[in-house]
Amino acid sequence: MSDKYKKILMVLIPLMIAIAMPLIVTDNYFRGIFIMTLIYIIVVLGLNFITGLTGQMNLGTAGIFAMGSYTTALLSTKLGISPWLTIIGSIIMGLIIGVGLGYPSLRVQGVYLALTTIGFGEIVRILISNFKFTNGIMGIRDIPAFTIGSFSFDDKLARYYLYLVFVVIMGVVAYRITNSKWGRLFKAIRDNYEAVQAVGVDIAKPKVLAFTLAAIYGCVAGSLYAVHMEFITPSVYTFDLSTTFIVMMMLGGIGSVPGCILGAVVCTILPELLRDFGNWYWIIFSILVLLVILFRPNGIISFLKTRKKSVKEGVK
């Protein structure tokens, strides 16, 4: 079998599993978990642009996620705008955030950039907790569902497949960008920042672009989250959530689109499967994460790559 067909199968098999999963597992609670998994996949795919590919630590992703959620919630509940159109509003918000964070990132790096993004996330959380028009800590309720004509995606099965379409589209875009000249430039900045500057490459555009892509993905995911939950509150968008997104990316495979998807799936679904262990389940999950990070620093996806390499060597 040629490499081309192998790549097609590597995409089709996980996609078929994703399509079949909510039909096999009919419990609405787990269908809700599957929907949250899809939302987190989009966030992590965006985070991968700035942290995974460009090597700039972003610990304020929860703030970006919140801005997308509140954009959709406010536009749909206060102004009566269709949730579909609020997605456009979230994309515009992502552009603003990306430029707003991207240009300061040209002046600071490393721990200073990490602190800057933490500050951004906390400022967003504090503001939405205190503004009257965001309803403060009480949050925003009755966020409408997506509709097409008379059909509403308020059923979890229908909503799951709608969100799966979002994941496929944004996953393909992420993969194409990662393997484009921009993706290669992102990686060059990550691997040897000084060398890229030394050869006269303008690093401003790629760094701002990476932040902008991350912000757009985060805001779109935030919009989908708001519509799914129908109720949002500032207590969700904490620093803990930002670090969870980082863990998802690192666990799956930093810099890898399939790795990000795998990391989000594992980090969202595995804790639910471990709940039978009672209070021990977070300890067990944390130990598993540490073992992967220690012995497989390139993430779970590296297991598959190693196996693929071993098979090729065996054939030779």
Please write the tens of the pLDDT for every residue from 68-78.
Answer: 999 999 999 99
Residues 129-146, mean pLDDT to the nearest whole number: 94
Task: Please state, in angstroms and rounded to a whole number, the distance separating the CA atoms of residues 31 and 26.
Answer: 7
Least confident residue range of 25-29, 161-165, 199-203? 199-203
Nearest-angstrom CA–CA distance, 309 and 264:
25
pLDDT at 211 over 70: yes
Q: Flag whether pLDDT at 122 surpasses 90.
A: yes
Sorted by where each begins, the domain ranges of the chain are 25-315
Whether residue 223 contacts residue 90, with contact meaning beta carbons closer than 8 Å, is answered with yes
Model confidence over 233-244: pLDDT tens digits?
A: 999 999 999 999
| pLDDT beyond 80 at 248 | yes
pLDDT band at residue 273 under the 50/70/90 scheme: confident
- Would you say 258 and 301 are in contact if contact means Cβ atoms under 8 Å apart? yes
**Cα–Cα distance list, 1 to 5, 6, 9, 193, 267 (Å):** 7, 7, 11, 39, 33
Residues 6 or more apart in contact with residue 230 via CB below 8 angstroms: 141, 142, 143, 145
Q: Between the CA of residue 19 and those of 80, 113, 202, 237, what are the distances in Å?
A: 32, 39, 43, 29
- Region 1-27 average pLDDT: 85
pTM of the model: 0.92
Q: Which residues pair with 148 in a beta bridge?
A: 151
Per CATH, which fold does 25-315 belong to? ABC transporter involved in vitamin B12 uptake, BtuC (1.10.3470)
Predicted confidence at residue 308, as pLDDT, reads 52
pLDDT at 315 over 50: no
Q: How far is CA 19 from the centre of its chain?
A: 20
pLDDT at 137 over 60: yes
Separation CA 161–CA 189 (nearest Å): 37
pLDDT, average across residues 299-316: 61
How large a percentage of the chain has pLDDT more than 70?
95
Q: Which amino acid is at 76?
A: S
Angle at 208 between CA 122 and CA 72, to 5 degrees: 50
